[in-house]
Structure 1
Amino acid sequence: MLNFFRQQSGSIKNDVLSGLTVALALVPEAIAFAFVAGVSPLIGLYSAFFIGLITAIVGGRPGMISGATGAMAVVVVGLVALHGVEYLFPTVILCGILQILIGVGRLGKLIRMVPHSVMLGFVNGLAIVIGMAQLGSFKTLSPDLHLVYLTGTSLWIMLALVLLTMGIIWLLPKLTQAVPASLAAILTVTLLSVAINNSMNTPGKENVLATVGDMLQTNTIAAEIKDAREEAEAAKPRPRRMVGKNANVAASYDLAEAVDPVQAKRAEKEDALLVARVLEENEGKTAGISGGLPIPYFLDEKYTSVPFSLETLKIIFPFAIILCGVGLIESLMTLTLIDEITETRGKGNRECVGQGTANIICGLFGGMGGCAMIGQSLINVNSGGRGRLSGATAAISLLLFVLFLARWIEQIPMAALVGVMFMVVIGTFEWASLKMVRRMPRSDVFVMVLVAGYTVVMHDLASAVILGVIVSALVFAWQHATHIGAEVKINEFGSKIYQLHGPLFFASVSSFKEMFDVAEDPEDVVIDFYYSRVYDQSGLEAISALAEKYEAANKRLHLTHLSPECRRLLNNAGDLVEVNLSEDPQYHIATDRLA
């Protein structure tokens, strides 16, 4: 299904138009992730600008879009809740430094260790997560200010416009490639939405079709209501815990109090007063994305209270490590996915350095950090963005929206952006994997389903990939533990030769030991490693233990045809391993045969 994205070719026009399309889709994403992180929406928007611009210029994957992401926001929210937003910015800077060190250390190539089954699970799980995330756009505030799903006319009109958006994206490329289909769909549905809202709205009521501005207003009020309710709940006196014979009486009293109609009525009244207070505080206020140019955070008196000390480092270092790992795993997985789609190859180590540089500058200017955005990257590729200009255009356009065009961008309907993301879901999901299930090894099917399921349930892409790699490695070790064997023969000198086949490592040591009969073997025994290799200390220890047994039986053990790597292991082991290494007239390197 990824072929869906290969229909576009790169050009300056496509890069600019696709960058503009991505910028429109970045606005609600950045705002939503800022709410998740517990910071101001402008911090999310500024983060998307810095991360997107810098990685587009110096990153390792042209055409890939980076910005403020949910994966990073989930980590950030814990830091902000425990220590305050002022500790966020030095944490992001430290995260960037660690990412640069990983890139300089050329550790980005470790992404090659991700098996294809993990990649399939990652892509499919990601598609489901992106689709589920769009359901939040179908919510609105109820009269008691709880988020509830749309019903009635508003729901049907929004569904119709979502389908219209998807139809335009699907059909327009068949007619013309002059304009990115996603951009044309957003503009068309926006004009329709403005017309519908103007004709159907009643004074004092919210729009029939929710826009980006409505979403921001709704999320702001919902967040304040939630915080107020949590504060009120925490302030309530708690009855003392009863023990002994009074416990049952206390429990019965609490239960009666919980269902008491008078108490319920009082709680309802208190909640209504709380809601009224929040609404009064927000009366006349309009939540928007308008703002000025970002400034370094250390010039703002609000954020200068964090001391530069060892105690601060102890607080931020654990969060910085997690942010570094999450950001790089998600970025490198996105890089691999875009490589596959565009049939080109990005540079993993350069991407690590680019992400690190972006996070350092983002942190200096009071941002929440970020990494590659898979959904927006796929929108960019689908719209024809292939070069660095597309990412730079998206970032600069986003800043221009904040500075000059906020009022217009806030009129974009959520239905248009949801339609774009649903098409990304359809294009991201590897539908062929459903047909491959019967032909794939069961272990690969298990890993694919495990990674996809973990991604969907936990919404943690980085942990899902790590889990998939670990399980794949364990499956590989288990399968190869039984792949060691030996052909046994006696040569003309009466020596018994064990011709090994298969790898000798920790999982195959038990099978290796069971091959030899020390008591019945002749005085001279040869183990031929022509078709085998020793991989780890467990293998060395097994050889050493076997040599001791033959020595105790007054018999000689020779090792032949060891590869240079195996000999190096033995030399490094020193006195830990004492065996007789026989010199062969014709020395063959095992790696030449096994490569």
Structure 2
Amino acid sequence: MRAARALLPNLADYRTARRTWRGDLLAGLTVGVVALPLALGFGVSSGAGAEAGLVTAIVAGLVAAVFGGSNVQVSGPTGAMVVVLGPIVAAHGVGAVALVSVAAGVIVIAAGVLRLGRLVSFIPWPVIEGFTLGIAVIIFLQQVPLLTSPHGAPSGTRSSNAAIAAIQSIASADWRYLAWSVGAVAVVAAAMLLAPRVHRSLPGSLIGIVLVAVAASLLSAPLATIGALPATLPAPALPRMDAATLVSLAAPALTVAALAAIESLLSARVAASLADTGPYDPDRELVGQGLASVASGLFGGMPATGAIARTAVNIRSGGRSRLASITHAVVLLSIVLFAAGPVGRIPLAALAGVLMVTATRMVHAGTVRTIMRSTRADAVAFVATAIVTVSVDLIVAVIIGVACAGVFALRGLARSTGVHREPLTGPAAAGDEHIAVIRIDGPLFFAAADRVYETVTGLTGVSVVVLRMSKLELVDATGARVLTDIVTALERRGVTVLIKGVQPGHEELFRTVGVLGSLRHQNHLFDDLDSAIVHARSHVHRAALS
């Protein structure tokens, strides 16, 4: 019962709000203004529409703020989710988005209940950065069709791959329209770059959008706009579903759920390091984000995740409690209720400009240089993740990136396994050249097992081998089995094997797998090296007499 209560909201969530409420309200207002163009842009870019982006920012933002595991996380539509949703919309239509959102939300809730929140810590930093770089490239390329003509490339010929779709759009571009749209992007980019230099609190994206919207209206520019938006939230309803649809959307839902979990947990972890806002609960964060996606889907929105950019703005603006994230959702709701008309007249090219600048800011040249100059393993994982993200799929990219990092890590760990022949202790005796003392140290696991086997069984000219185990660290079943095979192979050749220094933590495994049972005699197991060498010399002496 206590574990279940830990995943639910409680009064302690708002313990600091009594003294931080002014800063929280101001931060919520700031984040709401920043989130508006992003919500609209991500909605349009995903293919679900600007309304879906706004609904997601409002509904999911509110639910995640109340139920999530972070005090400062701001949730809503994100670039990474847009990248995943684009192919889903292309293959199954816009109607599939709400159903995928609900299904993915249920999966994420289950992951939180099963306490899987800590698994994100197994994703290496270079993989995360490669993933981010790939997403940034895709977000940038996804805007190209919005700039080339009012409708982009013909829908029947446009590829689901962002890079190919961008090339197709340029090939069929309306060059007169392109000139207007590029000009709109330039105005938005200039506003986003210059506004913070005037004052850090100025919302450059919103200023740029307003300038473009006003100029387009005065100049009768042919720029396509968002279009009419409803002046209220849609009524909640269950998405239409049947068995066939659920089966066809099962894989996309799993992909969306995995992405939502990964991105939200990474964002919450980063947020916890930006300021003293209290710890975050990864399992509760999964439950909260899952509920947010379910709620968003019921209102016709998109799957939601924690948004690190908006979360960072929240913290920098003074947000210290959940009140800030809740305020952000209320601000967006107020815009829908009272300013839907003006918002609908925003040119799509202006939103494309916002997302292009956002994508560019996601990539930090210093971080890329650091990773590329670190180790070859990290550089390979980073590059592979980025390339696969752009060319194949986000989740596949993370899997391949983690696999690359894992392979290099295992290779490095395997190289740390030592197999050393040591001199015998005490005064030299006749026949010592026929005794080999082999010290095995470090980890003995599947990746190092063959090398250890070949090294030890390759000994020649010896009649007794003493295996020193006191420095052995990690041992898995494969490592224990290789020790059994070593003893068996040497004994088969007439070489007596003595084992010294089996650690208590390894004894049960050695007994179960057969290491100890493979010894010729139970007296061939020793606690100290001197006794083992005395016994080895007695074997050599007896062999010489015979």
**TM-score past 0.5 threshold:** yes
Of stretches 438-447 and 347-356 in structure 1, the one that deviates more from structure 2 is: 438-447
2:303 partner SS = coil
- State the AA in 2 paired with 1:502: G
Match of residue 181 from structure 1: 202
Q: Deviations over 1:266-302 (max 9, x none)?
A: xxxxxxxxxxxxxxxxxxxxx322154333324xxxx
Asked if structure 1 preserves the Cα contact closer than 8 Å seen for 2:446 and 2:478, the reply is yes
Tell me, yes or no, if structure 1 residue 162 matches structure 2 residue 171. Answer: no
- State the AA in 1 paired with 2:306: A
Asked if structure 2 preserves the Cα contact closer than 8 Å seen for 1:18 and 1:384, the reply is no
CA distance in 2, matches of 1:384, 1:420: 24
Match of residue 166 from structure 2: none
Asked if structure 1 preserves the Cα contact closer than 8 Å seen for 2:58 and 2:76, the reply is yes
Q: Identify unmatched segments of 5+ residues in structure 2.
A: 1-21, 155-171, 530-546
- State the AA in 2 paired with 1:110: L
Match of residue 6 from structure 1: none
Match of residue 584 from structure 1: 527
CA distance in 2, matches of 1:417, 1:534: 54
CA distance in 2, matches of 1:324, 1:142: 30
Question: Deviation at 1:529?
Answer: 2.8
Aligned-residue Cα RMSD (Å) equals 3.9
Match of residue 66 from structure 2: 57
Asked if structure 2 preserves the Cα contact closer than 8 Å seen for 1:93 and 1:360, the reply is yes
Asked if structure 1 preserves the Cα contact closer than 8 Å seen for 2:372 and 2:378, the reply is no
Q: Aligned to 2:415, which of 482, 506, 515? A: 482
Q: Aligned to 1:200, which of 219, 229, 232? A: 219
Cα distance, 1:475–1:365 mapped onto 2, change above 3 Å = same
Question: Deviation at 1:449?
Answer: 2.2
Asked if structure 2 preserves the Cα contact closer than 8 Å seen for 1:561 and 1:584, the reply is yes
CA distance in 2, matches of 1:333, 1:532: 36
Tell me, yes or no, if structure 1 residue 119 matches structure 2 residue 122. Answer: no
Greater RCO structure (CA 8 Å; 6+ sep): 1
CA distance in 1, matches of 2:421, 2:487: 18
- State the AA in 1 paired with 2:113: V
Match of residue 322 from structure 1: 255
Asked if structure 2 preserves the Cα contact closer than 8 Å seen for 1:47 and 1:369, the reply is yes
- State the AA in 2 paired with 1:514: E
Q: Deviations over 1:477-531 (max 9, x none)?
A: 22333332233233459774322223212221121012214664344x4322333
CA distance in 2, matches of 1:437, 1:34: 31
CA distance in 1, matches of 2:40, 2:342: 14
Q: Identify unmatched segments of 5+ residues in structure 1.
A: 1-9, 174-179, 202-206, 217-286, 587-595
- TM-score, normalising length: structure 2: 0.74
Q: Aligned to 1:516, which of 456, 468, 479? A: 456
Asked if structure 1 preserves the Cα contact closer than 8 Å seen for 2:26 and 2:318, the reply is yes
Question: Deviation at 1:407?
Answer: 1.0
Q: How many residues end up aligned between the 2 structures?
A: 479
- State the AA in 2 paired with 1:55: A
Of stretches 538-547 and 363-372 in structure 1, the one that deviates more from structure 2 is: 363-372
How does 1:207-218 map onto structure 2 within 5 Å? 207=221, 210=223, 214-216=224-226
Asked if structure 2 preserves the Cα contact closer than 8 Å seen for 1:23 and 1:395, the reply is no
How does 1:213-224 map onto structure 2 within 5 Å? 214-216=224-226
Tell me, yes or no, if structure 1 residue 462 matches structure 2 residue 395. Answer: yes
How does 1:41-440 map onto structure 2 within 5 Å? 41-69=50-78, 71-72=80-81, 89=98, 91-136=100-145, 138-141=147-150, 148=174, 150-152=177-179, 155-156=182-183, 158-173=185-200, 180-182=201-203, 185-186=204-205, 188-190=207-209, 192-193=211-212, 195-201=214-220, 207=221, 210=223, 214-216=224-226, 287-298=227-238, 306-307=241-242, 314-342=247-275, 346-378=280-312, 380=314, 385=319, 387-412=321-346, 421=355, 424-425=358-359, 427-436=361-370, 439-440=373-374
Question: Deviation at 1:439?
Answer: 4.0
2:230 partner SS = coil
Question: Deviation at 1:474?
Answer: 0.7
- TM-score, normalising length: structure 1: 0.68
CA distance in 1, matches of 2:152, 2:206: 32
CA distance in 2, matches of 1:33, 1:54: 23
Q: Deviations over 1:388-420 (max 9, x none)?
A: 333323333333333332012234566765665
Question: Deviation at 1:385?
Answer: 4.7
Percent identity at matched positions?
26
CA distance in 2, matches of 1:47, 1:479: 45
